[in-house]
A and B are shown apart, each in its own frame.
Chain A
């Protein structure tokens, strides 16, 4: 096979991986800080995707432009959800949290089915069929924009957590719950904020990914699993880790599809997961677990 094929596929995998990474970033914040097993993560992204579809269908607004408003909406949803429904579950055993989120996922998926019907919906912007040809390389335009947008959002989030006082407060909560209380932080509000931020991340990822992937109501669960795999591989509590994990999984899937049969490419992501869980459970960039 000519060499440029490998490069094309690798680039494609990298760009897609960045978007996966953004989605996983949201989970990293939620699971890392609030410690809730968010099994409705993919479903939240599906909501964002449908929002983008509706806005595009009725107002012709490009999802990349609507990324921030959509993220804001998801922020609100996440914030309220955490304060009302999820908060009592933080101290409950994992399977309880899991069941709660599964119930939410069922409600979300089937509500979407009722509202939008089973057919796949897509956003076809003017550049949906474009690609850039650089020599022998062909780069998909929508993927390129998606990847760039993902990096931008991730960078904004990093900046927030590193420099903003609120961001530092949240990190304090995650690092040491009691300590945070002692210092006088309003932990409950910060938890809600964190969940909201995680949801916003997912919202942005959804707005971006709808350019590449068509949305159907049952799309959520696959992405939930993907998000967990990425977060575990990249390292819990590490935001660069989530991005790195996303890129790694995106690349692996693409290259595996190229070298072996594409229908088996997901197997490799799972194989990596198993290896990481066994030999480096804190993930590639995670802090060592106590």
Chain B
């Protein structure tokens, strides 16, 4: 199976990948806790970006409410832990199940009734908002006061309960992100992946070829939502407090999609590159502004918006494709329409 995954991948790409991975694995040795925190957040967004990319980049369905799945994953495991003492790893399957159920409902309602494009996007927003307000009144998980996880000591790393030092969290999210990466790669090359790309390019043509578009779109949203849930679990146990206003907030959903869109939708590296670049951009801007004494609130975001604008206008397929060409990684990355 590994041979199948590696088939057709240029050698220098594998070498590059190995180098990057090695650096990431060794990072805690060189980085202080602050840099580690930053890397954790980058990897977190890289992970969710990949999960979202499956639905959008591969299957072509724009979901603007992905924070819903993160939130459901987070709240499920957090509630299980707070009320029943069930650890995150045991709670994760439940979290995934609930996320998938939600995704399936949304998918079924939308795809069965032929809701696509911007309407589908608005539908996903509506569901997320609906859930946000709902959770604001859901007292068993704290409602709008928030759900606080009991924070234990930090001296030992308890992997079972995800309590411990940032280093432990770093390796957990690194493992998750790497795993997602491999999974996306496998999916892209599988039959499901090719069907998805056909649907994305031209759904009508795909259907006329006999592809059951409904079925494959459902599979896409199920995998995407299920894959997003563990990120929520991670979030809950890393930050230890959840508020519906923040967790299901629409800007969270937008944050999630920025990375993949800037990096390159439909590509394998897009979400990861995007996550690194966006953070880098934001930080560079902050440094620049502080250096020039222009640190008024809002200034950073204005420049951020301008840069985003520039990227969107000049590099419509994202930043990854030109880089890929530069590195001669000739893997057939389908340029998305």
Q: Closest residue to B301 on the A side, CB-wise?
A: A110
Chain A residues in 8 Å Cβ range of B250: 221, 225
Taken together as a complex, chains A and B put the C-alpha atoms of A281 and B254 apart, in Å, by: 25
Q: For residues 258 through 272 of chain A, which have their beta carbon under 8 Å from a beta carbon of chain B?
A: 261, 263-264, 266-267, 270-271
Quote the shortest CB–CB distance from B37 to chain A (angstroms): 24
CB contact under 8 A between A225 and B305, given known A37-B118, A267-B130? no
Inside 8 A of B309's CB, which chain A residues have their CB? 100, 103-104, 107
List residues 289-337 of chain B with CB under 8 A from any CB of chain A.
296-302, 304-306, 308-309, 312-313, 316, 336-337
Give the one of A37, A225, A264, A274 with max B CB within 10 A: A274
Interface size on B, residues (CB 8 A): 45
Q: Is the interface of A mostly helix, strand, loop or mixed?
A: helix
- Which of the residues A112, A225, A266 comes within 8 Å of B125, measured between beta carbons? A225
Which residue of A98, A112, A274 contacts B123 across the interface (Cβ within 8 Å)?
A: A274
Given A102-B254, A104-B309, A110-B305, CB of A95 within 8 Å of CB of B62: yes
Residues of chain A lying within 8 A (CB to CB) of residue B179: none
Task: Find residues 235-267 in chain B having any chain A CB closer than 8 Å to their own CB.
Answer: 250-251, 254, 261, 265
A202 at the interface (CB under 8 A from B): no
When distances are taken between beta carbons in the complex, the residues of chain A under 8 Å from B304 are 106
Scan A247-290; emit 1 where CB is below 8 A from any B CB, else 0. Answer: 00000000000000101101100110110011101000000000
Contacting residues, chain B, for A279 (C-beta < 8 A): 113
Name which residue of chain A comes closest to B309, CB basis: A103
The answer to whether B299 touches A110 (Cβ under 8 A) is yes
Instruction: Check: B284 CB closer than 8 A to any chain A CB.
Output: no
Inter-chain contact B121/A94, CB cutoff 8 Å: yes
Contact across chains for B62 and A281 when beta carbons are under 8 A apart: no
| Contact call A103/B119, Cβ cutoff below 8 A | no
- Interface check A228, CB cutoff 8 A: yes
Residue A2 lies at the interface, judged by CB distance under 8 Å to chain B: no
Q: A95-B62, A266-B129 are in contact. Are A273 and B299 (CB under 8 A)?
A: no
* Chain B neighbourhood of A114, CB < 8 A: 296-299, 302
CB atoms of A266 and B133 under 8 A apart: yes
User: Is the CB–CB distance between B137 and A263 below 8 Å?
Assistant: yes
Q: Which of chain A's residues 94-118 have a Cβ closer than 8 Å to chain B? A: 94-96, 98-100, 102-107, 109-114, 118
Task: Flag whether B203 is at the interface (Cβ < 8 A).
Answer: no
* Interchain residue pairs A-B with the least CB separation, the first 7: A106-B305, A113-B298, A107-B305, A110-B301, A110-B298, A103-B308, A103-B309
A-binding residues in B (CB < 8 A): 56, 62, 64, 109-110, 113-115, 117-119, 121-123, 125-127, 129-130, 133-134, 136-137, 250-251, 254, 261, 265, 296-302, 304-306, 308-309, 312-313, 316, 336-337
Q: What are 27 residue pairs bridging A and B, where the CB atoms are less than 8 Å apart in the complex?
A: A96-B312, A98-B64, A98-B121, A99-B261, A99-B308, A100-B313, A104-B305, A105-B305, A106-B305, A111-B298, A113-B298, A113-B301, A114-B296, A217-B298, A221-B251, A229-B122, A229-B126, A261-B137, A263-B136, A267-B133, A270-B127, A270-B130, A273-B122, A274-B127, A277-B115, A277-B126, A281-B114
A-B contact sample (9 more), CB < 8 A, given A110-B299, A277-B126? A98-B64, A102-B308, A106-B301, A114-B302, A225-B129, A264-B133, A270-B127, A273-B126, A281-B119
Interface of A toward B, CB cutoff 8 Å: 37, 85, 88, 92-96, 98-100, 102-107, 109-114, 118, 217, 221, 225, 228-229, 232, 261, 263-264, 266-267, 270-271, 273-274, 277-279, 281
